[in-house]
Amino acid sequence: MKAVILAAGKGERLSQGEDKSKPKPLTPLLGLSLIERAILSAKESGIHDFVVVVGYRSEEVVKYVEEKQKRLGVNLDFVENEEWKKGNGVSVLKARETLKDENFVLLMCDHVFDSSILKELLEYAKKRGDKCVLCVDKPENVFDLEDATKILLERNKPEAIGKGIKNYNAVDCGLFYCTPAIFNALVEEIGKGKYELSDAVQCLIDSDNLEVFDVHGRFWCDIDTKESLEYAKNKMLKSLEKPTDGIISRYINRKVSRRITARIVNRNLTPTQITIISFLMALASATFFFLGEYKYLVIGGLLAQASSIIDGCDGEVARVKFLTTDYGAFVDSILDRYADGMLILGLILGYWLLNGGISVWIIGLFAVLGSFMMSYTNARYEGVFEKTGGGRRIPVRRDMRLFIIMIGAFMNQVLGMMLLLAILTNTEVVRRVFSIKRIITKKKL
């Protein structure tokens, strides 16, 4: 399957303001240009061959994308549309020769979207046989309704399309599964002097060649103005939460880490480098714990919680820049385990040097054991504990453990805090061993 990406327009409204230096496809959004983002989003759905239609300042766009090609890891064809001023229908038609008679996906470089939409569009289209399928959403989900292309649906069948139609109940999301029928429609409409893609789509509607696919409110946005760029950025940052996030992570850590991610995403920091920074902060925290005195405990507690927050940023940067790898997640999990061990060792040593006694060692060792077993049981069942049985579990995952460590340090209650950790974690492990049996019996894992 090939994808055609329209990147020929000028983007007048977006470039009003300071940044006239860049053509629209090169506009940065959370560390990637719009054109890179469109390509990488499609690549997540298994598309590796792209036809990019360029027009306005085409040389700059081609040069920029070609330089990134190796990192993008896809095949690229460029098609020039010198008549880009006429309308986007002309741009689509220019891709005809390169595509021959294959079906393809049509994307706009200035539309960002949740890549699950494209994945499901492709699955849906496969089932529908040889019809064009257009992604649609409800009008209330659109950022700039005035500028959107509207659609009238009657019992889920499209009846009319256009920017100016008065009677509508859906909008076009800018993701379009096309058969070669689109080219015939374009030729016909362009012959009549109608140069917009939506004119050809109306033609497909009239010949009963179009179906629609509802994106059900999942994220997509047409980037036409500074405001929509800002809107998209905030929406994307919010979507970085994970369904498996713990309480502390959801209500505290993510709120901070998102802001940090928004700032560091444009720098050349790799996710692994961020992982290492978080690990070093945990080691620094352990060192302060080791010093034992109350003032150092407070600093150590703050550093532990800060490390926990930064530990969210590596994944966020990876997801927002399409850099997620199994290996990255693996290294992250290994360093997290060592950080957990070092933090508790620092606490034990600091307490022991001041107060002596054997109990801190024994309790500390059980806290280490319990922390590890939380991660180990999870690794053994690949997240089944995090996905299922939400209500009754003891919320003592890493976000909560580091939070407890911080609070314990603030209260100068090292022994009590470690006892709490040891009890909560090991109790939760025992609960898991018994509950997994029910889950296995029910779900036949």
Residue type, position 100, single letter: K
Q: Which of 161, 349, 374, 418 binds its own copies (CB under 8 A)?
A: 349
Per-residue mark of binding to its own copies, 289-308 (x: CB under 8 A): --------------------
| Interacting residues with its own copies between 328 and 347 (CB under 8 A) | 330-331, 333-334, 337-338, 341, 345
Q: Which stretch binds its own copies (CB under 8 A): 34-42, 52-60, 183-191, 348-356?
A: 348-356
Q: Which of 101, 358, 392, 443 binds its own copies (CB under 8 A)?
A: 358
Nearest distance in Å: CB 433, its own copies: 6
319 contributes a contact to its own copies by CB under 8 A: no
| Minimum CB distance to its own copies smaller for 165 or for 329 | 329
Three-state SS sequence of the chain: CEEEEEECCCCHHHHCCCCCCCCHHHCEECCEEHHHHHHHHHHCCCCCEEEEEECCCHHHHHHHHHHHHHHHCCEEEEEECCCCCCCHHHHHHHCHHHHCCCCEEEEECCEEECHHHHHHHHHHHHHCCCCEEEEEECHHHCCCCCCCCEEEEECCEEEEEECCCCCCCEEEEEEEEECCHHHHHHHHHHHCCCCCHHHHHHHHHHCCCEEEEECCCCCEEECCCHHHHHHHHHHHHHCCCCCCCCHHHHHHHHHHHHHHHHHHCCCCCCHHHHHHHHHHHHHHHHHHHHHCCHHHHHHHHHHHHHHHHHHHHHHHHHHHCCCCCHHHHHHHHHHHHHHHHHHHHHHHHHHHHHHCCCHHHHHHHHHHHHHHHHHHHHHHCCCHHHHCCCCCCCCCCHHHHHHHHHHHHHCCCHHHHHHHHHHHHHHHHHHHHHHHHHHHHHHCC
Nearest distance in Å: CB 223, its own copies: 34
Nearest distance in Å: CB 441, its own copies: 9
369 contributes a contact to its own copies by CB under 8 A: yes
Q: Which two tokens stand for residue 53?
A: 């239609």
Q: Which of 28, 381, 394, 415 binds its own copies (CB under 8 A)?
A: 381
Per-residue mark of binding to its own copies, 410-429 (x: CB under 8 A): -------------------x
Q: Which of 372, 388, 415, 435 binds its own copies (CB under 8 A)?
A: 372
Per-residue mark of binding to its own copies, 22-51 (x: CB under 8 A): ------------------------------
Per-residue mark of binding to its own copies, 426-445 (x: CB under 8 A): ---x---x--xx--x----x
354 contributes a contact to its own copies by CB under 8 A: no
Nearest distance in Å: CB 379, its own copies: 4
| Minimum CB distance to its own copies smaller for 172 or for 332 | 332
Nearest distance in Å: CB 437, its own copies: 6
CA–CA separation, 291 and 89 (whole Å): 69
Q: Which two tokens stand for residue 412?
A: 């100068």
Q: Which of 1, 373, 407, 423 binds its own copies (CB under 8 A)?
A: 373
Per-residue mark of binding to its own copies, 107-146 (x: CB under 8 A): ----------------------------------------
Give the footprint of its own copies on this chain (CB under 8 A): 326-327, 330-331, 333-334, 337-338, 341, 345, 348-349, 352, 358, 361-362, 364-365, 368-369, 372-373, 375-377, 379-381, 429, 433, 436-437, 440, 445
